Amino acid sequence: MKVIKRNGSEAVFDKAKIANAIRKASDSAEEALRLPEATIQGITDTVTARCEELGRAVSVEEIQDKVEYGLMEAGYFDVARLYIRYRYQRYLVRRANTTDARVLSLIECNNEEVKQENANKNPIVNSVQRDYMAGELSRDITARLLLPPDIVEADKAGIIHFHDADYYAQHMHNCDLVNLEDMLQNGTVISGTLIEKPHSFSTACNIATQIIAQVASNQYGGQSISLTHLAPFVQVSREKIRREVLQEAETLGGSKDPEAIEKVVAERLHEEIQRGVQTIQYQVITLLTTNGQAPFLTVFMYLDEARNPQEKKDLALIIEEVLRQRYEGVKNEAGVWITPAFPKLIYVLDEDNIREGTEYWELTKLAAKCTAKRMVPDYISAKVMRKLKVDKNGEGHVYTCMGCRSFLTPYVDPETNQPKYYGRFNQGVVTLNLVDVALSSGGDEEKFWELMDERLELCHRALRLRHERLRGTLSDAAPILWQYGALARLKKGETIDKLLYGGYSTISLGYAGLYECVKYMTGRSHTDPEIGMPFGLKVMKCLNEATARWKAAECIDYSLYGTPLESTTYKFAKCLQDRFGVIPGITDKSYITNSYHINVREEIDAFSKLRIESQFQQLSPGGAISYVEVPDMQDNLEAVLSLMQFIYENIMYAELNTKSDYCQVCGYDGEIAIVEEDGKLLWECPHCHNRDQSKMNVARRTCGYIGTQYWNQGRTQEIRDRVLHL
């Protein structure tokens, strides 16, 4: 068993240290009050057993809490009082330099918690360390000076999660849909340099990657672009290439046969598209932004977004090349093709590509092939989305999420009376721990709803703080976003305030642990149609009603969001165990279930899972994604296509999870295993038993996106526990 020290570093659990601490507290008491040695050993054994029961690494604070309880249970209240007093004195000493200690542990790379905080950040790299160091200072300032004590304490206790507190001190927003069309067609400014409309497809792709990097450095969430915005430049390149070929033919006295000319043009255009797509893929995964990771980018592929038949055909050429290059993968340092984490790809299923015989069926088959090998693209059903995303004019729309799952709500520009999505953004997220609400109620339904109202108001106040932090922000804070087209074309010195109201941007109430909440309150999973499901849907409707009330009262677009817990799933689980103990089926794991998802251990087939979860996804208008866990499907593309067709008919947004790993020591190309040793989960090659994480490539979908830098113990346990749905 491992112990997480206060600075985040890891040590081996040593029960002798517990006994020594109890003995010192006992020795400081009057002789008549001291503990016999047998009692000291007994309390030590009890504390050790309770730590082992948790099935994970324990923190020093958790151990000390259990020592206090042990002393009081044994009736040694005076010694317990001395022990508590000593803890408090040490706390006052540490309080002055806790942040310093954590920063130093980051520099020395021995902070285990931070190492596993983000599955796409390498904590050894200087730029990541710099971001984490800045984050520690920002988080400290936020907790001490910027947030009310009750919000800080609720976050610390795992009652809520105040997302991205390490960025809160700055006036930064969460995620967005980049208006790439405006920036490419009308020009933009990057680092004080005017970038005019590009004159070729490859140049447009190069500019796009520069825009992506700049945007990523001025926000803290995900961003999305549409390939449709690049499609017009295919025709620009086609015309340019045709002129060049005709000129060459004239100069060299070659054939001017139209058919021969067009063949050469098509070949060179294909090469141009290859270069442009490769530029996006390689630059995105090799760029490091100011937060020390590749831009969290989503690329949207929707054929019906094209404005004319030729543009649609050109868009199909780009999509095909993106899928081909992603299927191939990228080479790791050993020269082996592996699965990259970014960019995330989303492919829209529609009437022109969903069935054999439709115009773009071959493109869909290529998407299925890519998914089976590389876990992308994910899929949006145009059919379902048009029914769910209806604007005030009564029109349904299809558009991409911002990053991995955060969706804007339908919006009609009051000036043009036309729908608008690109150039909009999310202000931030606060997540409610539904499991904590249930356990705090003790299973009493009346108390549950009373607590729900109280916790929702707590979240509401926290969300208002996020909103107020952005209000008054000058466009000068991030010119690429607010002045040069990524999100707006505001004047210098103008505030972004008008973009924070009226539905232009959203702000998200997140939720997590619906499964455990329903299980505790009803004794059933929310897959149970008679008891569990109705209660789960009632919870979701309650959350939606709250956001609707806030929106109507304040003209701020609050929206319900299925939170993609990464490190927070571990945090919530530990807090629940500390507050309520180990409850079988509820708090006996080192994670809680994401959003409305069916528990990862529940045996259910892929089609039933998607059908049931679709009901809950509809009630997460601010964003959510469902997944099914599948084995290697590369030799069973028919099954992949069947799942895609089921998605089209039944659920708005879904993905398939498979495994894509490689061991650099022995060349094993398969699933890297998760093994347990001394209470800690480790990654191990099943062939050569290599456990050196720097010598293996592991890719897993964790929260709607692919992670490649490993995960904390809670998320690792969740990955290990997943059952196959197909």
On whether the CB atoms of residues 680 and 713 are closer than 8 A, the answer is yes
653 is catalytic: no
Q: What is the DSSP letter of 475?
A: G
Which is the catalytic residue, given 401, 402, 517, 533? 402
- Residue ranges of the alpha helices (H) in 389-444? 434-441
Distance, CA of 512 to CA of 572 (rounded, Å): 9
For residue 588, with 0-12 CB atoms within 10 Å meaning exposed, 13-18 middle and 19 or more buried, which class applies? middle
Residue 86 annotated as catalytic: no
Q: What is the dihedral of CA 127, 132, 133, 136, to 10 degrees?
A: 170
Other residues' Cβ atoms within 10 Å of the Cβ of residue 548? 13
E strands within 258-349? 297-301, 330-331, 337-338, 344-349
- Any catalytic annotation for residue 559? no
How far is it, in rounded angstroms, from Cα 629 to Cα 655? 9
Of the residues 426, 505, 544, 697, only one is catalytic, namely 426
Question: Among the options 174, 224, 226, 595, which is catalytic?
Answer: 174
Which candidate, 564, 509, 468, places its Cα nearest to that of 221? 564
Known active-site residue 7: no
User: Which residue of the set 118, 179, 200, 406 is catalytic?
Assistant: 406
Which of 9, 167, 168, 175 is labelled catalytic? 175
Which residues is 160 bridged to in the sheet? 432
- Active-site choice (320, 566, 613, 718): 566
Annotated active-site residue 402? The verdict is yes
- Measured distance CA(647)–CA(639) in Å, rounded: 12
Does the annotation count 175 as an active-site position? Answer: yes
Contact at 8 Å (CB) between 509 and 430? yes
> Is 404 one of the annotated active-site residues of the chain?
yes
The one catalytic residue among 183, 370, 385, 404:
404
Candidate list 622, 704, 707, 714, residue with the active-site label? 704
Query: In the numeric block, which tokens belong to residue 358?
Result: 């439709």
Q: What span, in angstroms and rounded, lies between the C-alpha atoms of 305 and 177? A: 15
Given 167, 422, 511, 561, which residue is catalytic? 561
CA atoms within 13 Å, Cβ hemisphere of 176: 29
Inter-residue contact 40 to 94 (CB < 8 Å): no
Q: What is the spatial distance between Cα 270 and Cα 342, in angstroms, rounded to a whole number? A: 23
Q: What b/e string do you get for 659-687 counting C-beta neighbours within 10 Å, with b at 16 or more? A: bbbbbbeeebeebbebeeeebbbebbbee
Catalytic residues, by residue number, are 174-175, 402, 404, 406, 426, 561, 566, 704
